[in-house]
Chains A and B, each alone.
Chain A
């Protein structure tokens, strides 16, 4: 026989709105992925914000309005300069899933970055959406490639604020070097081919002369 003592039975989070953000930093772009999962106890309140006409369904307009409201509470800056976050894609769960505490709203947003100099930079992310009921996660993803290297992440205690310190490596310099080396290589090859043709030309002329005499 097994016994359970003093356990509050719940399959998942109850009275908190989990907001998980992941930031992918690229040389000219930042992608911010945000997942929003309301707990069962606060689900009706969130559904009220989502289903504005109370028809039990989420129209495209209602989804878009919710995303825009959420993003209005999100701020992104690079080296102090405000960046404009654009919607890339979003998906909404069914309202029953939200009611059961199992529905996750998934947003993909992105901001263009200005051309940044080689060296140290800071990207600051702030999420002020529904602080009354929310818990937050905010993390930088490991960058693809070598052009960006994250050196530190700083957060407030609640993870509403995340500052990512990172280094931009000179990709243009690398690209220029690749073109330079490639160009020099091509030039060298062309010179060699030309020289070889020049060496073969007298022999070819001699052969042609021989053929004419034979005719």
Chain B
């Protein structure tokens, strides 16, 4: 009787341990340390390269010191001629590999934002935008819109240790993700949108809707004294530090982060997170911690009406951060920029 009981007990414990081990194995997410994330991004980049022939690899790969690094714009082709692999020229497996790479390199929200910006450009194409009707470079002389008109380039060889740049962009989009082992920066990058609101499969899509709504919520949470510091008395018609302004820093203006209440500070970081969080979470978290440490030297500035739905410009600027949000005359055409004047394209990583 006793030995039967012991056998039963041991069997039960063993079964429990087995079930627990199975659950543990099923539930285990891939490690999300920065170094592991870089390794996964490099594997995905190498998977893209494997789908290409020599000509394709030559198109996508640029030397580390190449001028390609700074070759990006908000403009559509052929007004701005991009280099690299054009999505519209790829086979379905090649295109899938490129999109898989982006989904690994970016956060879930970041990847979604990129898809929505590209889809917005497709809306421009099918909605009759541009003389070229999205026929692609050389296809019609006018702007080429659409999801096919986005390009991938690697500046430097994808590596888990040495710095390299993953560059993806087209009309209203420039993602410049520099990776250096366990470190990464997405500065400078340009997420923009036109149309800023459209419908897709029956639902309303606003690629930069959170950025807009969170900033309006913040400016409306300021009291009159704070607002007098934050709201500039002049019109800002466009990005001050848009494409071509790498490494520049303008004198900050607006209200200091340290003059905000705790709740307002949280709202400020929520705004910032919309840009920083485009990167994979493994890189976004340490970057947010770095920015929070500079609260006292971080400024929030606003130009324009404060009623949501109006065209208003805003800027968040700190020692290592510039974010600008600039409607282009109306609320349906938005340009934004994300920069780190001290670390555009990972300048700090190269020094180290």
Among A12-20, A173-181, A202-210, the one that faces the other chain is A12-20
Interface membership of B195, Cβ < 8 A: yes
Contact status of A158 and B235, CB under 8 A, knowing A9-B124, A12-B75: yes
Flag if A157 contacts B234 (CB, 8 Å). yes
Chain-A contact segment, one of B56-64, B179-187, B197-205 = B197-205
Q: Check: A117 CB closer than 8 A to any chain B CB.
A: no
Chain A residues within an 8 Å CB radius of B237: 16, 18, 135-137
A9-B234 contact given A2-B198, A142-B250, CB 8 Å threshold: no
Contact assessment for B195 and A156 in the assembled complex, using a CB-CB cutoff below 8 Å: no
A141 within 8 A of B: yes
Partner of A3, one of B123, B171, B251: B123
Option from A9, A18, A22 in Cβ contact (under 8 Å) with B129: A9
Partner of A139, one of B119, B197, B250: B250
Interface range for B: 35 or more
Within 8 A of A (CB), among B194-216: 194-195, 197-201, 205
Give B252's nearest chain A residue, CB to CB.
Answer: A142
Q: How far is the CB of B181 from chain A (nearest CB, A)?
A: 30
What's the Cα separation between A100 and B330 when bound, in Å?
20
**A153→B251 contact, CB < 8 A:** yes
- Tell me if B79 counts as interface (CB < 8 A to partner A): yes
A215 at the interface (CB under 8 A from B): no
Given the interface contacts A12-B75, A142-B249, does A157 sit within 8 Å of B328 by beta carbon? no
Q: In the complex, which of the residues A3, A18, A100 has the most CB atoms of chain B within 10 Å of its own CB atom?
A: A3
Task: Flag whether B257 is at the interface (Cβ < 8 A).
Answer: no
**Residue in contact with B248 in the complex, picked from A22, A136, A150, CB distance below 8 Å:** A22
Residues of chain A touching chain B, judged by Cβ–Cβ distance below 8 Å, are: 1-14, 16, 18, 20, 22, 97, 100, 102, 135-137, 139-142, 150, 153, 155-159, 164
Interface residues of B (CB under 8 A from A): 74-76, 79-80, 119, 122-124, 126-130, 143, 171, 194-195, 197-201, 205, 232-238, 240, 248-251, 253, 328-330, 332-333
11 extra interchain contacts, Cβ-Cβ under 8 A, other than A2-B126, A2-B201, A14-B329?
Answer: A1-B200, A4-B195, A4-B198, A5-B195, A12-B74, A12-B328, A20-B240, A100-B79, A157-B233, A158-B234, A158-B235
- Sorted nearest first, the 3 A-B pairs with minimum C-beta distance are A4-B127, A9-B129, A135-B237
A-B contact pairs, 5 of them (CB 8 A): A7-B127, A9-B127, A9-B130, A141-B251, A158-B235
